[in-house]
């Protein structure tokens, strides 16, 4: 914690000086003040406004956008308790009540759904069921794959000391990077393209195609941004990868930099993962020391790559790439209008790769073992693997790397032990919450987009939350929509108003309209959100109400009177 002490002694001017000549300085500057003072005072905001030449009203407004920047004295030290969908099942609300005497407030899903309820106090994350059992423990290591399928991402993650460079190098670490230096950037892109690796953050855009667009786009310097703002409720895969295999991500980013000719890199890490930041920073320092990062990498003239972490401050929408880029640049984190896309107009309007953690962590194994090998990991014609974060009412929650095409029931029952004893599965969510629900009676799908999309849902980032027959799906849907309303950025009308109106129509205590009106309104709002929202949040949120109506008519009828 030497770092922390250093912060506390820094003067205003020293903090600014530390960051003002670096790229994307606003977030680290805000964090430095927030860490030093435990809140952001009016005077601090005025000082930063002047120093970074940002209008004070704009800076003030941008700060209010983020959930975790505190504006009250000592606010950073107040506990934030996760009351996400999964934590609600595990006593999150009760724990919040218990800690309210210490100034606790609620926070949306903090990405530890495979454990007990997480509580953030300062820069520490504790998990527990009640205030007495709270403890600060490392992220669980994923269980060995019981299906005997070959893994890509988790292949070496269980090895001892894997999170440090010695451990990483013991099992082929940085071999892929060394091997590509004999090849041309276009050959590297060709391998990635052939492997059919695609965006694992949920959008599934072909990675090779994205890299190629950046490589051929005019404008320099180019940037690699790793999207580590894992905000989707029920998703906690990226945290596991970064905590236990940080060098895999870093190596993937360096290879991406080589392939695209990029010289700057950022890992945009969500606020809720403070321990991950320490692990990543240690790994980056190790990589710099070994000349994998920095100038003239591995003595290759003109191969320079500077990699920095930027910590978010609590905003789901910053996982949307346009918002993320605006946030990095210190702007109001609204999504950007597309086109143009980040590949030509990304960070500072220059060509930028934005890739998810899992995508980048797959790169080194793909390079090392070849495109054909990676393709062969999926079942049938489906190429590659996907990490699924499984949580909720299931025997063995956790992260599982599955081959694309694995039947969902195999994952649930054979790999994860099935429902809690004496219960049956009533529903599972897809894509965290964004894909809505599949009912327990409609689980004959395989884990790949075509199969899940045929049910009107999608796999997305791979978060699956299980609810058994003790759960009231109307309430679950209400909580899900509350999350979307809380996280809607407020830019486009259909999402800003739609998420609010749908939340009201799912509030069991506040429904004053009859079933026919309810159905018409919910569906009309849903349709307009899906068709006209400016980004994925507004397009996905109505999946909740759509699937609720598809599968759980009876529960709707108990709350909405005919």
CA dist 186 and 69 (Å) reads 43
- How many angstroms separate the most distant Cα atoms in the chain? 74
Check residue 64 for interaction with other proteins (CB under 8 A): yes
Choosing from 70, 193, 499, 545, the residue that interacts with other proteins (CB under 8 A) is 499
Check residue 47 for interaction with other proteins (CB under 8 A): no
Q: How far is the CB of 380 from other proteins (least distance, A)?
A: 27
C-beta atoms surrounding 479 within 10 Å: 18
SS3 at position 276: helix
Check residue 151 for interaction with other proteins (CB under 8 A): no
Q: Tell me the backbone φ, ψ of residue 211, rounded to 5 degrees.
A: -60, -40
| Pick from 70, 24, 20: nearest CA to 48 | 20
C-beta atoms surrounding 137 within 10 Å: 14
Check residue 494 for interaction with other proteins (CB under 8 A): yes
Choosing from 10, 56, 141, 420, the residue that interacts with other proteins (CB under 8 A) is 56
Check residue 61 for interaction with other proteins (CB under 8 A): yes
C-beta atoms surrounding 465 within 10 Å: 29
Q: How far is the CB of 489 from other proteins (least distance, A)?
A: 6
548 token code pair: 């609720």
Query: Residue 276 or 326: which CB sits closer to other proteins?
Result: 326
- Name residues contacting other proteins, limited to 333-372 (CB under 8 A): 337, 339-340
Q: For other proteins, which stretch binds (CB under 8 A), given 277-285, 354-362, 400-408, 486-494? A: 486-494
SS3 at position 223: strand
Total number of residues shown for the chain: 562
Q: For other proteins, which stretch binds (CB under 8 A), given 160-168, 305-313, 381-389, 525-533? A: 525-533
| Pick from 530, 456, 458: nearest CA to 492 | 530
Q: Residue 363: which residues within 8 A CB-CB, separation 6 or more?
A: 176, 192, 197, 207, 251, 252, 255, 256
Check residue 486 for interaction with other proteins (CB under 8 A): yes
Total residues interacting with other proteins, rule: CB under 8 A: 47
Check residue 137 for interaction with other proteins (CB under 8 A): no
Q: For other proteins, which stretch binds (CB under 8 A), given 56-64, 145-153, 446-454, 460-468? A: 56-64
| Pick from 221, 188, 220, 222: nearest CA to 207 | 188
The dihedral formed by the CA atoms of 394, 400, 405 and 409, expressed in degrees to the nearest 10: -20
Check residue 209 for interaction with other proteins (CB under 8 A): no
Choosing from 496, 519, 549, 550, the residue that interacts with other proteins (CB under 8 A) is 496
Q: For other proteins, which stretch binds (CB under 8 A), given 16-24, 116-124, 230-238, 332-340? A: 332-340
Check residue 528 for interaction with other proteins (CB under 8 A): yes
Binding site for other proteins (CB under 8 A): 42, 45, 55-58, 60-62, 64-65, 315, 317, 332, 337, 339-340, 485-501, 504, 513, 521, 524-525, 527-528, 530-534, 539
């Amino acid at each position: 914690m030497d770092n922390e002490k250093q912060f506390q002694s820094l003067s205003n001017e020293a903090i600014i000086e530390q960051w003002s000549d670096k790229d994307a300085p606003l977030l680290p500057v805000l964090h430095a003040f927030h860490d030093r003072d435990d809140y952001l005072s009016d005077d601090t905001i005025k000082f930063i406004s002047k120093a970074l030449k940002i209008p004070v009203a704009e800076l003030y407004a941008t700060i209010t956008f983020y959930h975790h920047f505190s504006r009250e004295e000592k606010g950073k030290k107040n506990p934030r308790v996760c009351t996400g969908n999964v934590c609600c099942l595990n006593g999150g609300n009760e724990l919040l009540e218990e800690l309210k005497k210490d100034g606790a407030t609620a926070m949306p899903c903090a990405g530890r759904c495979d454990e007990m309820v997480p509580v953030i106090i300062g820069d520490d994350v504790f998990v527990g069921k009640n205030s007495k059992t709270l403890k600060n423990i490392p992220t669980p290591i994923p269980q060995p794959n019981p299906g005997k399928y070959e893994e890509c991402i988790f292949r070496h993650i269980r090895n001892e000391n894997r999170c440090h460079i010695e451990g990483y190098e013991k099992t082929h670490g940085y071999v892929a990077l060394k091997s590509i230096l004999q090849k041309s950037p276009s050959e590297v892109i060709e391998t990635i393209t052939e492997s059919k690796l695609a965006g694992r953050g949920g959008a599934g855009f072909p990675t090779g195609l994205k890299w190629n667009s950046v490589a051929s786009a005019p404008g320099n310097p180019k940037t690699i941004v790793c999207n580590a703002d894992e905000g989707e409720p029920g998703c906690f895969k990226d945290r596991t990868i970064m905590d236990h295999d940080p060098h895999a991500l870093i190596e993937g980013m360096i290879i991406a930099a080589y392939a695209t000719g990029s010289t700057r890199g950022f890992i945009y890490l969500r606020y809720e993962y403070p321990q991950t930041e320490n692990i990543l920073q240690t790994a980056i320092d190790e990589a710099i020391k070994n000349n994998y990062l920095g100038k003239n990498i591995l003595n290759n003239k003109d191969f320079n790559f500077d990699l920095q972490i930027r910590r978010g401050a609590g905003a789901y929408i910053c996982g949307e790439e346009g918002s993320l880029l605006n946030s990095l640049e210190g702007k109001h984190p609204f999504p950007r209008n597309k086109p143009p896309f980040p590949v030509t107009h990304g960070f500072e309007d220059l060509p930028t790769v934005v890739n998810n953690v899992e995508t980048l962590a797959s790169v080194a194994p793909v390079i090392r073992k070849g495109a054909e090998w990676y393709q062969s990991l999926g079942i049938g014609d489906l190429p590659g693997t996907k990490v699924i974060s499984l949580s909720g009412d299931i025997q063995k929650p956790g992260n599982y790397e599955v081959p694309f095409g694995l039947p969902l029931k195999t994952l649930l029952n054979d790999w994860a032990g099935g429902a809690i004893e004496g219960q049956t599965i009533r529903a599972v969510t897809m894509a965290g919450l964004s894909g809505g629900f599949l009912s327990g009676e409609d689980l004959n799908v395989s884990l790949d987009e075509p199969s899940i999309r045929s049910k009107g849902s999608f796999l997305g980032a791979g978060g699956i939350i299980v609810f058994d027959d003790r759960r009231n799906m109307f309430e679950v849907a209400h909580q899900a929509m509350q999350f979307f309303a809380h996280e809607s950025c407020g830019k486009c009308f259909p999402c800003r108003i739609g998420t609010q109106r749908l939340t009201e129509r799912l509030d069991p205590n506040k429904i004053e309209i009859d079933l026919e009106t309810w159905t018409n309104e919910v569906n009309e709002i849903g349709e307009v959100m899906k068709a006209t929202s400016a980004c994925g949040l507004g397009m996905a949120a109505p999946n909740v109400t759509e699937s609720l109506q598809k599968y759980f008519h009876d529960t709707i009828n108990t709350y909405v009177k005919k």
